[in-house]
Amino acid sequence: MAKRVFFVTGTDTDAGKTVVSAGLLQAGNNRQWKTLGLKPIAAGCEQTDAGLRNSDALILQQTASVNMSYDQVNPVSFAEPIAPHIAALHEGRQLNADRVAAYCRGALLQSADLVVIEGAGGWRVPLNNRETLAALPRSLQLPVIMVVGMKLGCINHALLTAESIARDGLQLAGWVANCIDPDMASYDENLATLKTMLRAPLLGEVPRLAQASPEIVANYLDLDMLPVQ
């Protein structure tokens, strides 16, 4: 089976990237695919006896069917829950896209049918004063899955993100509508507008869930809409 590798971005912080990324991995598991999840950069980690650990990265590690060490899943971690370039500055460290891409390439040597690489924040989150996180999927030439946090203002955020992805020469392979605000006014009209204006397939709608486990979220996602690379 051909390997499918995707970079998952969001229209904003807390758009639901991890919820959707884990759901995609579980949907692959349900098909008996070998799945692999990566969170190359994570800011907002807890100190444990084993080192810094990020809850989102742990979810991806635990959901994926391919066993990998935590450091392979999340090679760059910061304690502070802030923009990665600022966290790096506070710790006297340097971030650059080439180094992070090298970590990812190493992990991609693993045999897998579906690989999900989750970003941090939105598409233009800085890595340093010259690069944004968008340089990572550009370096790896990955198609992108965009998670749209369905709330007031989501149309503007989604269209701007889609334009940026296209400007960077990458394919928007699909998008997921993830309900952030269960009381969002005119939800159906907003969704219809996005379906009309985004030139990519809608992979699924994830409602506001009391328990957004990967097993439950997978039921709302359609892997058949994803391109095979």
CATH number at residue 32: 3.40.50.300
In this prediction, residues 11-27 reach a mean pLDDT of 97
In this predicted structure, the answer to whether residue 1 has a pLDDT above a threshold of 60 is: no
153-200 pLDDT, tens per residue? 999 999 999 999 999 999 999 999 999 999 999 999 999 999 999 999
The answer to whether residue 16 is domain-embedded is: yes
Q: Which of 3, 17, 34, 39 is catalytic?
A: 39
In angstroms, rounded to a whole number, what is the distance separating the alpha carbons of residues 65 and 29? Answer: 7
In this predicted structure, the answer to whether residue 229 has a pLDDT above a threshold of 90 is: no
The answer to whether residue 139 is domain-embedded is: yes
Q: Give the number of domains in the chain.
A: 1
The answer to whether residue 151 is domain-embedded is: no
The answer to whether residue 101 is domain-embedded is: yes
| pLDDT, mean over the chain | 96
The answer to whether residue 137 is domain-embedded is: yes
In this prediction, residues 116-142 reach a mean pLDDT of 97
In this predicted structure, the answer to whether residue 12 has a pLDDT above a threshold of 60 is: yes
In this prediction, residues 47-52 reach a mean pLDDT of 94
Comparing CA positions, the residue from 181, 162, 218 lying closest to residue 19 is 218
In angstroms, rounded to a whole number, what is the distance separating the alpha carbons of residues 187 and 150? Answer: 8
The answer to whether residue 58 is domain-embedded is: yes
Catalytic residue at 195?
A: no
Q: In which domain, by residue range, is 205 found?
A: 4-144+164-223
The answer for residues whose C-beta is within 8 angstroms of residue 189's C-beta and 6 or more apart is: none
The answer to whether residue 228 is domain-embedded is: no
Other Cβ atoms closer than 10 A to 3: 16
In this predicted structure, the answer to whether residue 228 has a pLDDT above a threshold of 90 is: no
In this prediction, residues 138-166 reach a mean pLDDT of 98
55-109 pLDDT, tens per residue? 999 999 999 999 999 999 999 999 999 999 999 999 999 999 999 999 999 999 9
The answer to whether residue 149 is domain-embedded is: no
